[in-house]
Amino acid sequence: MREHLILLPGWGLGSLPLEGLAEALRGLDPMLRVDIEPLPELASGEARGWLLALDERLPPHAWLGGWSLGGLLASELAALRGERCRGLLTLASNPRFVAGGDWPHGMDEATFDAFVDGCRADPDATLRRFSLLCTQGAAEARGLARQLQAALPCTVPQVRLAGLEVLGSGDGRSALRDFSGPQLHLLGGADALVPAEVAGELLALRPDIEVGLIEDASHAFPLERPREVAAAMLAFIGEAGNA
């Protein structure tokens, strides 16, 4: 059976951060079908609505993957689908992006709230700042940030803010525990938004999953190091298929 991988993008930056990765995956394994699917364009920040919209739109029995917010949604959708999901692969994704009392490994709430306020008041400046945060730690950080800024999608402000609400309120820890299929979670060693320490916490949630670290890589490592990331993903899909 030909494998199908669906990749969900992150917040605010459209599909560009995943396009090089999708191309690398297809080049390394022409038999793998790879699709980048846009996130729902909903004005509501209620995560359940986003998940149901994705579940209705996306074909079953595919691998689900995602970058950042896309990884959080892919995790929740994998748990929702259960045996209708072949496996889960997340990239630079924190199961709880905003830190809490029992999860210190995220952005503090005050910083996140200020980011939301900035997005509401001056979305263009906020997205430029976000692109710089995404590429911080990369060898060619400013060049990557310029790529992201040049390809910013036109998004309805309410949809952009709703996506932030989903990101800020999301907690995918139970989804990772509940989904019994194969899981690979890749993190960036120099990620300015998702600390590398999340790796150990993911293994504590479910010791039988695979967690990998892309050394010296930024939050935007799918754009920064697409072939390296693609090779790791394909190796995992191949191993899971032979298990």
Which helix (H) or strand (E) segment is 114 a member of?
helix 109-121
pLDDT in tens, 136-195: 999 999 999 999 999 999 889 999 999 999 999 999 999 999 999 999 999 999 999 999
Of the candidates 29, 93, 191, 218, the residue annotated as catalytic is 191
Of the candidates 15, 68, 131, 218, the residue annotated as catalytic is 68
- Residue 174's alpha-carbon distances to 76, 85, 95, in angstroms, are 9, 16, 9
DSSP 32: S
Using pLDDT thresholds of 50, 70 and 90, give the confidence band for residue 119.
very high
Where do the structural domains in the chain lie, given as residue ranges? 4-242
State yes or no: is 219 an active-site residue: yes
Q: Which long-range contacts (CB under 8 A, 24 or more apart) does 115-118 make?
A: 115/164, 116/161, 116/164, 116/168
End-to-end distance of the chain based on CA atoms, in angstroms? 15
pTM of the complete model: 0.96
CA pair distance 115, 162, nearest whole angstrom? 13
CA pair distance 171, 118, nearest whole angstrom? 23
Of the candidates 93, 131, 185, 219, the residue annotated as catalytic is 219
Is it the case that residue 70 has pLDDT exceeding 80?
A: yes
Phi and psi based region of residue 240 (left: phi greater than 0; alpha: psi -120 to 50; beta: remaining): alpha
Taking a C-beta distance cutoff of 8 angstroms, is the pair 92, 191 a contact? Answer: yes
CA pair distance 119, 124, nearest whole angstrom? 8
pLDDT at 223: 97
- Fold of the domain built from segment(s) 4-242: Rossmann fold (3.40.50)
β-pair type (62-67, 210-214): unpaired
How many CA within 13 A on the CB side of residue 19? 8
CA pair distance 223, 212, nearest whole angstrom? 17
How many CA within 13 A on the CB side of residue 146? 4
Chain Cα centroid distance, residue 101? 23
pLDDT in tens, 183-229: 999 999 999 999 999 999 999 999 999 999 999 999 999 999 999 99
3-state secondary structure of 55: helix
66, two tokens: 């995602």
